[in-house]
Chain A
Amino acid sequence: MDGTAPGHPEGPYVLNLTRETWNEHLDRASTWLANVVTTQAAFRQALEIAVPKVEEPNIRRFLSEMLDRAQRHEEVAHRLPRVLGREAADGARSLAGTVMDVARKALDTVEGLAGGARGNWKDLHHLLLLNLDAMGAFAIAEQLGLALAHAELRDLAWAVEAEKSTDQLILQELMLEMAAVAILYGEKV
């Protein structure tokens, strides 16, 4: 039998699901997603600056492979607003233009834990922070995918988040492995 009822004369209620409301949600989300591009581009460019300076062959290989992934992740970051039917916000493009400065400043001036250490070991620490920032941005994109009931957005963001989580472990490991010789002996990476 067909158990479908004729329905309430005024129709069912929908919560925040009208086109107007939903479009507002999508606009807000896609505007925020510019941050994913910005943070990921900063990380990628910091890697581009850091890799040529690395002399230790194993670390250079680890970081070169990470750079390949970072370029791929940045392409995904650009796709995120598009899966919501939006173009990347203008702000993202203009922000991306300043990313190089951000990355260079991060590598050249941020002291933090690396303060006082000589050589390029401190680059590893800075990459750790920049990757954390970008990884968090992808994780937030995943949350937006879940909140917007949008599996494609969620899946794209989560897949990158998972790879960047592994990259974070690698960066931490490299930074810690080289910490003692960088601080005590002033060795370069």
Chain B
Amino acid sequence: MLPRMSRASLEELKALPTPVRPRLDAADVWVPDGYDVEPVVAGLSFPCAICFDADGTMFVAEGGSTWPTRPYMTPRIWRMSPGQDPEVFAVENLGGPRGMSVRDGYLYVSVKGGYHMRVTRHDLRTKERVVLVDELPSGGWHEPGGPVFGPHDGLMYFSNGSVALQGVVVPEGFTVDLAKHPHAHDVPGQDVTLTGNTVWARDPRLPFPFYAESGPFQPFGTAVTKGQVVKGQLKCNSAVWRSKPDGSDLELLAWGIRNPFGLAFGEDGHLYATDNDFEEKGERAVGEDPDRIWRIRNAQLPPGEVKEPEWFGYPDLCGDGLPLWHEKHLPIRGKAAEPFLADPPPWAGPAAYLFEPHTALGKLAFSRSDEFGHRGKAFVCQFGTYAPLNSNREKYLRNGFQVVTVDFEAGTHEPFMRNRAGGPASATPGSGGLERPVDCAFHPDGRSLYVLDFGNNTANKSYVVAYAHTGVVWRITKR
């Protein structure tokens, strides 16, 4: 059956056939005075990325296999041009698109799937697809970010999150699908010497849950020894790179960022990367780790001039720069972490901004419009917590589920879009509001912000489920 995009009335959106998201109603969504909000697309499956071309064409990517990895729905990119019917512009293979940018007649896409993350380029006219960068180690938990283009140098910037959930591959990262990618592991951006600490976990792949010993930067079930050196690689993960737009002259800017899912340049010229905190569960549990946004200073250097990549702490430091095993970060559930790196590189923090733990940062966009307002501020999607799965602290249960503005200079943030009742719509019976904001993008007319809502993605103490056909695009317009 071909996908069908058709028009509906706002009234019809209040009686949708999807039981876990039976209605959409902007009246349940709060935005500041002077702004209007409305749903503009409904029924998307696991959408991960949104962007615009200069003519107002909107691209929306459905992520395919996401969080968790099942069910897999078609990973595809929609093109919605003004005055034309929406069309499926591209279909990816198993895995799916995670980030997009349009530049000079091409759509650039970061894609996850299999053992590698890659960056592809699609000709907007012919739809020809070319792989620009490949073989970036993936196949695990965290996400690609970008690509975005440097306003100062025209280079392409992109990122790749860690394979492991907690610095070592363990069954706690169950939805990374250990069976599909048994050889996946983290790769450092610089040579590191290991302490020899490992974790013991039961191996869910075997007929009986035998114990397996695993060390950092190794596949599950592979131990390490004290003093073991793991060579740094250009193609690593938990990292940020830049290259020419054709993928050549790849240069590593930073590593040690657990999940650099959101990348954006601010009006101040700096490159910012969102990052998510460690989780409070399992064999290497961490408590009270703040979500954060990093400023990648190496992005300011001329191409080819980066002497050392910046290191932001993964797998051993929290967002505040304290070690995972610091008393402030001891977990109330799970086994506390031990150090992995015997000779950690200098820390490139502090973070540009720290948020409460478990807001689960998605992507971000900067306002460059006086007409829309908040010029210079970042609009940051807070996807929303997976508590009580990833932490059993009661206070985190409603963290996130909103878009906030961040003023880096003032060191403050404010809610910009959230449900009137707080939390996700699915937590409030009858609500037609927001579920999980994952990405946002400004329309080139400078009047509207489009917020991509991943849809119903519900966690309990044991697992998380995601429901297809519940993703939404919301538009917020300055009145």
User: How far, in whole Å, are A149 and B21 apart by their CA atoms in the complex?
Assistant: 7
A16 to B465, CA, bound (A): 21
B36 contact from A4, A11, A149, A150, Cβ within 8 A: A4
Most B CB atoms within 10 A — which of A2, A6, A12, A24? A12
Give Cα A31 to B92, complex, Å. 29
- CB of A147 within 8 A of CB of B37, answer no
Q: A3-B36, A4-B36, A5-B38 are in contact. Are A12 and B19 (CB under 8 A)?
A: no
| CB-CB under 8 A for A15 and B19, given A21-B4, A149-B456 | no
Assess whether B18 is in contact with A11, with CB atoms less than 8 Å apart. no
Q: What residues of A have a CB within 8 angstroms of the CB of B13 in the complex?
A: 12, 14
* A-contacting residues, B251-304, CB 8 Å: none
Nearest-Cβ distance from residue B371 to partner chain A, whole angstroms: 16
Q: A15 to B73: give the CA distance in the assembly, Å.
A: 13
B239 at the interface (CB under 8 A from A): no
Which residue of A has the minimal Cβ distance to B456? A149
B8 partner, pick from A14, A143, A149, A154, beta carbons under 8 A = A14
CB-CB < 8 A to B42: which residues of A?
A: 12-15, 17
Q: Which residue of B lies closest to A146 (CB)?
A: B71
Check: B27 CB closer than 8 A to any chain A CB: yes
The answer to the question of A45 belonging to the interface, with a C-beta cut-off of 8 Å to chain B, is no
Say yes or no: A147 contacts B33, CB within 8 Å: no
Question: Is the Cβ of B18 less than 8 Å from the Cβ of A17?
Answer: yes
Chain B 467-479: CB-based contact to A (< 8 A → 1; otherwise 0)? 1111000011100
Beta-carbon contacts under 8 Å, A75-130 to B? none
Q: Is A178 an interface residue (CB 8 A)?
A: no
A181 interface contact, C-beta 8 A: no
Decide if A154 touches B469 in the complex (CB within 8 Å): no
**A residues within 8 A CB of B16?**
14, 17
Within 8 A of B (CB), among A52-85: none
Structural contact, A146 and B70, CB atoms closer than 8 A = yes
Chain A residues lying within 8 Å of B32, measured Cβ to Cβ, are 3
A18 engages B6 (CB within 8 Å):
yes
Is B17 at the interface (CB under 8 A from chain A)?
A: yes
Q: Is A151 an interface residue (CB 8 A)?
A: yes
Bound Cα distance from A150 to B22, whole angstroms: 10
**Cross-chain contact A5 with B21 (CB below 8 angstroms):** no
Q: Scoring B residues 179 to 208 as 1 if CB is less than 8 Å from chain A, else 0, what string do you get? A: 000000000000000000000000000010
The minimal Cβ–Cβ distance linking B451 to chain A, given in whole angstroms, is 13
Q: Closest chain A residue to B36 by CB distance?
A: A5
Q: Mark B20-42, 1 if CB is under 8 A from A, else 0.
A: 11000011011111011111111
Contact A17 B33 (CB under 8 A): no
Q: Are A12 and B10 in contact (CB under 8 A)?
A: yes
Q: Which residues of B contact A6 (CB under 8 A)?
A: 36, 38
B117 adjacent to chain A (CB < 8 Å): no
Nearest CB of B to A117, in Å: 20
Interface centre among B5, B12, B19, B29 (most CB of A within 10 A): B19
With A3-B30, A12-B38, A151-B20 already in contact, the answer to whether A146 and B466 are too (CB < 8 A) is yes
A146 and B35 in contact, given A5-B477, A10-B7 (Cβ under 8 angstroms)? no
Q: How far is the CB of A35 from the nearest CB of chain B, in Å?
A: 17
Chain A 131-143 per-residue mask, 1 if CB under 8 angstroms from chain B, else 0: 0000000000001
- In contact, B8 and A11 (Cβ under 8 angstroms): yes
Indicate if B349 sits at the interface (CB-CB under 8 A). no
Do the beta carbons of B26 and A4 come within 8 Å of each other?
Answer: yes
The verdict on A151 contacting B19 (CB below 8 Å), with A3-B30, A7-B38 known, is yes
Contacts A5-B475, A15-B41 given: A149-B5 contact, CB under 8 Å?
A: no
| Cβ contact within 8 Å between A13 and B4 | no
Q: A3-B30, A10-B7, A143-B71 are in contact. Are A149 and B470 (CB under 8 A)?
A: yes
The answer to whether B5 and A15 touch across the interface, beta carbons within 8 angstroms, is: yes
Smallest CB separation, B67 vs chain A (Å)? 12
Contact B17 A147 (CB under 8 A): no
Give the nearest-CB partner of B448 in chain A: A5
Contact B5 A14 (CB under 8 A): yes
**Contact between B10 and A11 (Cβ–Cβ < 8 Å)?**
yes
Indicate whether B77 reaches chain A with its CB closer than 8 angstroms. no
Residues of B contacting A172 in the complex (Cβ-Cβ under 8 angstroms): 207
Q: Which residue of A lies closest to B86 (CB)?
A: A13
Once the chains are docked, how many angstroms separate the CA of A148 from the CA of B456?
12
When distances are taken between beta carbons in the complex, the residues of chain A under 8 Å from B9 are 7, 11
Please provide the chain A residues from 1 to 51 with a CB less than 8 Å away from any CB of chain B in the complex: 1-8, 10-19, 21-22, 24
User: Is B339 among interface residues, defined by CB-CB distance under 8 A?
Assistant: no
B20 touches A150 (CB 8 A): yes
A11 to B43, CA, bound (A): 14
Residues A11 and B7 in contact, CB atoms below 8 Å apart: yes
Is residue B346 contacting chain A, with contact meaning CB distance below 8 A? Answer: no
B43 pairs with A14, CB closer than 8 A: yes
* CB-defined contacts of B465 to chain A, threshold 8 Å: 146, 154
Tell me if B38 and A13 are in contact (CB < 8 A): no
Q: What residues of chain B lie closer than 8 Å to A163, measured between beta carbons?
A: none
Q: Looking at the assembled complex, report how far the CB atom of A162 sits from the nearest CB atom of chain B, in whole angstroms.
A: 10
B420-448 with Cβ < 8 A to chain A: none
1/0 per position for B135-152, CB-CB distance to A under 8 A?
000000000000000000
Does chain A have a CB within 8 A of B410?
no
Q: Looking at the assembled complex, report how far the CB atom of B333 sits from the nearest CB atom of chain A, in whole angstroms.
A: 22
Shortest Cβ distance from B31 into A: residue? A3
Let me know if A22 and B468 touch, CB within 8 A.
no
A-B contact pairs, 11 of them (CB 8 A): A4-B38, A12-B8, A12-B13, A13-B5, A13-B6, A14-B16, A146-B70, A146-B465, A147-B71, A149-B19, A151-B467
New contact pairs (14) apart from A8-B38, A15-B41, CB-CB < 8 Å: A3-B26, A4-B36, A6-B36, A6-B38, A7-B38, A11-B8, A12-B40, A15-B43, A19-B17, A22-B17, A146-B465, A146-B466, A148-B18, A149-B469
Q: Which residues of A come within 8 Å of B, CB atoms?
A: 1-8, 10-19, 21-22, 24, 143, 146-152, 154, 172
Closest 4 pairs between A and B when the two form their complex, measured CB to CB: A5-B36, A15-B43, A149-B18, A5-B38
